[in-house]
Structure 1
Amino acid sequence: VNSVVFSPDGTKIVSGSEDTTIRIWDAATGQQVGDALTGHERWVTSVAFSPDGAQIVSGSWDATIRIWDAATGQQVGDALTGHKDCVTSVAFLPDGTKIVSGSWDATIRIWDAATGQQVGDALTGHEYHVTSVAFSPDGAQIVSGSDDETIRIWDAATGQQVGDALTGHEYRVTSVAFSPDGAQIVSGSDDETIRIWDAATGQQVGDALTGHEDNVTSVAFSPDGAQIVSGSDDNTIRIWDASTGQQVGDALTGHEDLVGSVAFSPDGAQIVSGSDDKTIRIWDAATGQQVGDALTGHEYHVTSVAFSPDGAQIVSGSWDATIRIWDAATGQQVGDALTGHEYRVTSVAFSPDGAQIVSGSDDNTIRIWDASTGQQVGDALTGHEYHVTSVAFSPDGAQIVSGSDDKTIRIWDAATGQQVGDALTGHKDCVTSVAFSPDGAQIVSGSDDNTIRIWDASTGQQVGDALTGHEYHVTSVAFSPDGAQIVSGSSDATIRIWDTATGQQVGDALTGHEALVTSVAFSPDGTKIVSGSYDRTIRIWDAATGQQVGDALTGDEAFPSVAFSPDGTKIVSGSMDTTIRIWDAATRGQLQ
């Protein structure tokens, strides 16, 4: 989360993120308000409310500025274009009529908020990236900070620089802001200091404020100008007395990664912070205590999701090394996260009776969990020499199959955890996906060697030749419910259906995705196929005709994992935006 700010009335918070979205949150409950605002094509770096709270402006690494209706979440007009590199900072004029933006193209630009047109020429003078911009409270001046280690003040009407550059920082200036009365400017820098400047003379006021142990990323005055808040790459937030420069109380701790943005609420009672730990946190400005829980679930990409056999629960695995169980009806997490893996979890699945969960991880192990208690069952299953990429139970729950980046497939006794027979070898590159046939007699595997292979589950021998046709890595494979067909997804952006008995491709490739296909699955009745992709869409296909059914389901980031519910009425997806979503398979509307 790169940028956070309160609405003028303090009831809402807006956040911008590296997942390319803007989100609005209820400041009292911490719940997201409406859907994510989508349109930017790269990281959102800066967000701000208009003075009346009716609009939001955002800047992005896609070099554009966008204006949004805060009530509906819809984009207002076209994107504002003109910058030639990443937009790093945006702000409204106090009367809401203009917007100022700073960019890595070393310029500052002013825009008409109503028309979206640039006002006058770009403001030039900085010798390197502009990182932060802000209007003075009366709108007469603009302050800018830059990677050239300077701060500059500009006449907002003429675009001319006012006086000399403010110098003193010994490294990049990351954030600047005016005091509420416009008399002072505060700046934060990668030199780990905060400095206060006289806006009229450009002279530094007092000594630098020191205490942070890493880059200072964001600074802001309190509404009464008495305090300054700062966020830092040291994962902390600090509050300072603006008149003495002394730190007020202890550092605010809780974030697990660098703090990228901080802001006071309009009444000065609370502070909001955004962090690279993907959370937004609210703090009591007087006590420094966190208010409520962080707005979060998984702390990193969700890589695998699956429904329980009765459809009542969902299991998810994530790059945050945890497995989580969710109530499919309410979307609430059930119990604590299942922890034990030492690295990213890549694949999860329920046992056929729903009593256990199996997980595979980049720590090279497979683990079995009690689904009701969340406790690990027995020791980790070891044998793979590299990342485990895919795991699945046999239909009777007696065995587990696993695929790995070590190019092998292994079968395990689910009761003892012992490997059954030798590893299945033949693939010439990483094995990405494995599944049992519905009768348990065969195993299908997909690989980065662009092939699909079928194996006899009892002997471990390959059945027939490799299935070829994909032009790039095979990422996901699954049997149809009757075992007669296999579906595969690939980095070539296509889905293909195969005859299990002959190994021949059935019909043409299913095309429509615009990036690699990450996950495929048949519906329980075998009539539909669902696919997830890095193009940020989920698509449903008619298994008989290969035609897409309806419009694509869209999200904020790539979907590494999709699955049907046991009754076929719902689809669950896991996303790189850290969320799990539930969709109505018939209407394609989001349910959770």
Structure 2
Amino acid sequence: MTTSAQPGPDGAVRAHRRVAEVLAGLAARSVDVPPHPYVRRYLTEHAARGGVLDDEHVPGHFLPWETSGSVRGQLGMPISEDPSRLRLAAWACIEAFLGDVGVESRHVSLAVMCRAFGAPMPAGARRVEPMWVRMSVAGNVLLSGEHPVWAMTPVPLPDGRLLLATASRASTVTMVDPATGNRVGDPFAGHRGSVRALAALPGDVSLLATGGDDGTVRLWDPTTGTQTGQMRDGHDGPVLALAVVPAPGGTTLLASSGADRTVRLWDPDSLREVIPPIASGWVRALAAVPVSDGVSWLAAAGTDELVRLWDLTGAAREPLVGHTEVTRALAVLPGPSGRPVLASGGYDGAILRWDPEAGRQVGEPLLGSGGPVFSLVTSRFPDGRTILVSAHADGLVRLWDPVTGGQAGEPVLAHVRPVRTMTSLPVADGRVLVATASWAARVWDPAVPQRSSADASGRCDLMAVVPLDGDLVVAMVRGADVDLWDVGDGSRELRASFRHGSRVRAIATLTIPGLGTVLATGDDDGEVRLWSAASGEPVLARVGPHPNGVLALTGVPAGDRTLLAVACGRTVYLWDPETGEAAGSLGEHPHAVCAVAAVPVPDGRTLLAAASGRVVYLWDPVAGTRVGELAGHDDHVNALTVTQSADGTALLVSVADDRTLRRWDPSTGTQAGEPSTGHKGQVCAVTSATAPGGPLVASASYDGNVRFWDPRTGQGDLVVVLGGPLSHVAMAAGADRAVLAVCGPAGVVVLAVRR
């Protein structure tokens, strides 16, 4: 790209600013007409170079048309929460996840993020409008994909740049610029199977070491992506960890551990082992620990509750005893006396500090509440203090002052799934950033307070949308608590709440003559309770307890009454909710029944569909007999819903871990058309409603997307990109709109849907 800039840096900035202002004026002329391709590609870049990359100079309705895909990099990562560019920061949170979704989907997704950030909403009419959003929004996304990231390491280049190497279940290594989030070059390809371990070797020529499931340790030139060597006689099984080990004489060795239960020490120049393999057990983490006289020892974690130590001859040193469960993570940090301290973390959730030469603990254990410790690294605060950073199974990252043993800041919700790997990133301005990864890789500055977690009032496990009094009420389940909310545009008001004796696992709505709309909820103790949807007061008798926890619920019309179907374990139990009496049970399924749905068929009966494993079984609930099987999914079926076909008859819709949505004609037991695809993760939930304009189906996935479908054709209609895994979705239609509620580990979104 070229621009007519004035001589000198100040002149260039002014020129870019003027160009950005002109392009912004062109972009603002119409909300619905695509801007010129040059505007779409270069407006944000001119604004960034002109020092005006803010919400005033980049119109909100323009962002869905933006094609550079590098706004987050132009903002500078990690992105600061500058009030003048909140909308741009909201866009940056989902930019890496948008892929090839259309402009309308991008517009809706941006509106949801703006609601989450409290940023100005983009102009323009939308078919789907956010009503209420409470989400933990973790931005600064470096990388996202279909596979979890298993390893990362910083790679300094000879020209002074710092890149981040990442490895996943794919057999390649991807290089990323951590300052912009842009991928650098083509992926490094050569391993057969997943790459699980990375290490950057220091020296005049940068080298990247990789270890893979093929048992090999390979060396690469990170500037070209070419393989420069491969260690001879590799591991007999996957390579699990790598570490750079300083050796006497200023040389560098490379340590590796493998599933063959050995640790090996290599000379990266000769590509040979320098000592015989060390019988080590299953080692997940390695670290070089400086000891006296400039010598290093090798520390290993992952075999059992011990931290094992060897010198560079392979001789074992006294192991460090203190953890009560398997160790998983190691880091080396400076000690108060100048001697290095080794930190270890494990499945017991404790972080222990050690003087490895003395073989004793330093200070008290560092105890958080995040469960197993998966990774440890060091960072540095602006005042020069070294801090210890721990990553946990609950997705939280905790900061510790290793001198005082206290926490050095509030925990950060880095991911809503376990943090699989973490690394430090020392950047040119003296800061030490931290990159964390689960299914996406993110970068953040530990010295800057972060958006740490969702508002507690927004955390939710299950949801239901309940038609009531001509309006729609949203039921939110959190643990054993159920709250009923009247949700408006940007606000909500508590209508009622009630509590179970244990965690609620299933929720459904029933219509019972004389009682109106009733909520049924089932819990881990196998008990089902019935509540008035209007008041939250208990009605009728409790149902159960059942021999197992309740997994799914639905109402089933059966003649002149409505039965309650309760899925527990491999059996579906039928109850008369008005009397609390048992009305039968439906067989032993081959696997646990995780979803049930009532399906009307043309002969006037209502069948019960029950998902068990990869198959959906159809039952006549009155006769208690199985009448059909719907087989076609390639993986576990997670959810069911019922909608209308083009001729007005019922269609059963199923979603599964095979990432597909399938439509079935329950009267014939055949699929209606081809499977619907589009999700890039397991599809965990599905719902339907007859919205103004026709029937509508929505699905939610671990890929962080809600997809809307036309059930008559199976075609995707709209995508809402939320950037975090989703677990449940519910929808119901009112007079002029449908309301859809979706939740997951990151929080809750309630949307108004108009066709």
* Structure 1 and Structure 2 fold alike (TM over 0.5): yes
Match of 1:57 in 2: 165
Query: Is 1:423–2:532 an aligned residue pair?
Result: no
Q: Per-residue deviation at 1:269?
A: 3.7
Aligned-partner SS, 1:433: strand
Q: Per-residue deviation at 1:476?
A: 0.8
Match of 1:208 in 2: 319
Match of 2:306 in 1: 193
Say if 1:316 and 1:87 are closer, same or farther in 2 by CA, change over 3 A.
farther
Match of 2:355 in 1: 241
Match of 1:176 in 2: 286
Q: 1:410 aligns with which of 574, 582, 587?
A: 574
Say if 1:75 and 1:303 are closer, same or farther in 2 by CA, change over 3 A.
farther
Instruction: Give, in whole Å, the separation in 2 of the partners of 1:340 and 1:535.
Output: 33
Given that 1:91 and 1:134 are in contact with CA atoms closer than 8 Å, whether structure 2 keeps it comes out as yes
Cα RMSD for the two superposed structures: 5.3
Instruction: Give, in whole Å, the separation in 2 of the partners of 1:54 and 1:222.
Output: 22
Q: Per-residue deviation at 1:407?
A: 3.8
Say if 1:372 and 1:234 are closer, same or farther in 2 by CA, change over 3 A.
farther
Q: Identity over the aligned pairs, expressed in percent?
A: 23
Aligned-partner SS, 1:527: strand
Query: Is 1:306–2:306 an aligned residue pair?
Result: no
Q: Per-residue deviation at 1:433?
A: 1.1
Query: Is 1:520–2:686 an aligned residue pair?
Result: yes
Say if 1:582 and 1:121 are closer, same or farther in 2 by CA, change over 3 A.
same
Match of 1:120 in 2: 229
Q: 1:549 aligns with which of 713, 717, 725?
A: 717
Q: Which structure 2 residues correspond to residues 127-138 of structure 1 after superposition, within 5 A?
A: 129-136=238-245
Query: Is 1:221–2:332 an aligned residue pair?
Result: yes
Q: Per-residue deviation at 1:336?
A: 12
Query: Is 1:292–2:423 an aligned residue pair?
Result: no
Deviations 1:10-68 (A, max 9, x none): 999xxxxxxxx9xxxxxxxx962245832253x43322344589543223344433333
Query: Is 1:562–2:670 an aligned residue pair?
Result: no
Q: Per-residue deviation at 1:389?
A: 2.9
Given that 1:170 and 1:191 are in contact with CA atoms closer than 8 Å, whether structure 2 keeps it comes out as no
Counterpart code for 2:728: S
Aligned-partner SS, 1:83: coil
Given that 2:573 and 2:585 are in contact with CA atoms closer than 8 Å, whether structure 1 keeps it comes out as yes
Given that 2:619 and 2:626 are in contact with CA atoms closer than 8 Å, whether structure 1 keeps it comes out as yes
Q: 1:271 aligns with which of 385, 388, 397?
A: 388
Instruction: Give, in whole Å, the separation in 2 of the partners of 1:198 and 1:92.
Output: 22
Match of 1:530 in 2: 698
Q: 2:707 aligns with which of 527, 531, 539?
A: 539
Q: Per-residue deviation at 1:378?
A: 10
Q: 1:39 aligns with which of 139, 145, 150?
A: 145
Match of 1:153 in 2: 265
Counterpart code for 2:254: I
Q: 1:348 aligns with which of 504, 507, 524?
A: 507
Match of 1:3 in 2: none
Say if 1:315 and 1:119 are closer, same or farther in 2 by CA, change over 3 A.
farther
Q: Per-residue deviation at 1:235?
A: 2.8
Match of 2:650 in 1: 485
Q: 1:141 aligns with which of 253, 273, 292?
A: 253
Query: Is 1:445–2:608 an aligned residue pair?
Result: yes
Which structure features the higher share of helix residues?
A: 2
Given that 2:379 and 2:389 are in contact with CA atoms closer than 8 Å, whether structure 1 keeps it comes out as yes
Say if 1:297 and 1:231 are closer, same or farther in 2 by CA, change over 3 A.
closer
Say if 1:391 and 1:149 are closer, same or farther in 2 by CA, change over 3 A.
closer
Q: Per-residue deviation at 1:410?
A: 2.5
Instruction: Give, in whole Å, the separation in 2 of the partners of 1:428 and 1:496.
Output: 22
Computing the radius of gyration over CA atoms, which structure comes out larger, 1 or 2? 2
Counterpart code for 1:564: M
Q: Per-residue deviation at 1:280?
A: 3.3
Say if 1:442 and 1:330 are closer, same or farther in 2 by CA, change over 3 A.
farther
Say if 1:303 and 1:495 are closer, same or farther in 2 by CA, change over 3 A.
farther
Say if 1:242 and 1:147 are closer, same or farther in 2 by CA, change over 3 A.
same
Counterpart code for 1:64: T
Q: Per-residue deviation at 1:236?
A: 1.7
Which structure features the higher share of strand residues?
A: 2
Match of 1:25 in 2: none
Instruction: Give, in whole Å, the separation in 2 of the partners of 1:131 and 1:393.
Output: 50
Counterpart code for 1:145: S
Which structure has the higher relative contact order (CA within 8 Å, separation 6+)?
2
Say if 1:579 and 1:120 are closer, same or farther in 2 by CA, change over 3 A.
same
- Point out the more displaced range, 565-574 or 208-217: 565-574
Instruction: Give, in whole Å, the separation in 2 of the partners of 1:560 and 1:180.
Output: 46
Counterpart code for 1:38: S
Instruction: Give, in whole Å, the separation in 1 of the partners of 2:516 and 2:165.
Output: 47
Aligned-partner SS, 2:717: coil
Instruction: Give, in whole Å, the separation in 2 of the partners of 1:59 and 1:337.
Output: 46
Q: Which structure 2 residues correspond to residues 330-341 of structure 1 after superposition, within 5 A?
A: 340-341=501-502
- Point out the more displaced range, 383-392 or 481-490: 481-490
Q: Per-residue deviation at 1:238?
A: 0.6
Compute the TM-score of the two structures, normalised by the length of structure 2. Answer: 0.57
Counterpart code for 1:382: G
Instruction: Give, in whole Å, the separation in 2 of the partners of 1:548 and 1:105.
Output: 39
Instruction: Give, in whole Å, the separation in 2 of the partners of 1:227 and 1:316.
Output: 45
Structure 1: gaps spanning 5 or more residues:
1-8, 13-20, 22-29
Instruction: Give, in whole Å, the separation in 2 of the partners of 1:187 and 1:11.
Output: 36
Instruction: Give, in whole Å, the separation in 1 of the partners of 2:588 and 2:314.
Output: 67
Match of 1:364 in 2: 526
Deviations 1:475-517 (A, max 9, x none): 4133569996343216594532659xxx578993352238986
Instruction: Give, in whole Å, the separation in 1 of the partners of 2:232 and 2:491.
Output: 49
Match of 2:61 in 1: none
Q: Per-residue deviation at 1:83?
A: 2.5
Given that 1:392 and 1:434 are in contact with CA atoms closer than 8 Å, whether structure 2 keeps it comes out as yes
Instruction: Give, in whole Å, the separation in 1 of the partners of 2:586 and 2:571.
Output: 7
Counterpart code for 1:495: R
Counterpart code for 1:285: P
Given that 1:62 and 1:87 are in contact with CA atoms closer than 8 Å, whether structure 2 keeps it comes out as yes
Q: Per-residue deviation at 1:287?
A: 3.3
Match of 1:107 in 2: 216
Counterpart code for 2:362: V
Given that 1:435 and 1:445 are in contact with CA atoms closer than 8 Å, whether structure 2 keeps it comes out as yes
Match of 1:17 in 2: none
Instruction: Give, in whole Å, the separation in 2 of the partners of 1:409 and 1:480.
Output: 27
